[in-house]
Amino acid sequence: MSTLDQLIAKDEIRELALLYSRGVDRKDGKLLRTLYTADATDTHGDTFDGPANEYVDFLESCFPYMRYSGHHICNHLISVNGKEAEGEIYALAWHLIPDGSDGWLEDFMCVRYIDQYRKEEDRWRFAKRVVTYDLRSRKPADPLNGDPLSLEPSYTMLTSQLFARL
């Protein structure tokens, strides 16, 4: 694999990770389903461990209760070997979730995604994801005003297929 091919693969894998963040934060289960191989698994600490398609089902069941979700990728180190690759992502994840008593919790995490990627049908996809929590903090929070997705300008202002809601 040439150096240029490796750079292209790394950029495509970085975009894959960004699309995952967008899929969760914009509550787009259809997008998320396009990001995994058919046999992929996803392990999210103590919240989920199993097939990736079931993980997306799990997320879709959570979406109505997630007042806000923001995933922010910091570092992404990738090693490519032909049509397979592996990587480690450092990220910050911030969620506003119900506290079970008509209030809200700020759920903040410093996470690392330990990923295995595979190129299938000319696209890089997640073959295996394992999330580790380096730091987690939950505390009471004030809710946001309005519905963040109802005012989402990325669907109306950004017109390329990359930003389309699936």
Order the strands of the 36-44 sheet from edge to edge: 48-51, 36-44, 123-141, 104-120, 84-98, 68-81
Q: What is the DSSP string of 75-93?
A: EEEEEEETTEEEEEEEEEE
Query: Band of the pLDDT at 144, cuts 50, 70, 90?
Result: low
- Position 102 pLDDT exceeds 90: no
- The answer on pLDDT for 162 being more than 90 is no
Q: Please, how many CA atoms are within 13 Å of residue 164, restricted to the half-sphere of its CB?
A: 5
Joined tokens for residue 95: 């969620």
Q: Is the pLDDT of residue 37 over 80?
A: yes
Mean pLDDT of 134-156: 74
Look at 154 and 85; give whichever has higher pLDDT.
Answer: 85
Length of the chain: 166
Coil, strand, or helix at residue 109? Answer: strand
- The pLDDT-based confidence of 145 (bands split at 50, 70, 90) is low
Q: Are 114 and 129 in contact (CB under 8 A)?
A: yes
pLDDT of the residue at 158? 78
pLDDT score at 104 = 87
| Burial annotation 54-77 (CB, 10 A radius, 16+ → b, else e) | ebbeebeebeeebbbbebebeebe
Residue linked to tokens 């259809």: 30
Q: Is the separation of the CB atoms in 68 and 96 below 8 Å?
A: yes
Q: Structural domains in the chain?
A: 3-163 (3.10.450.50)
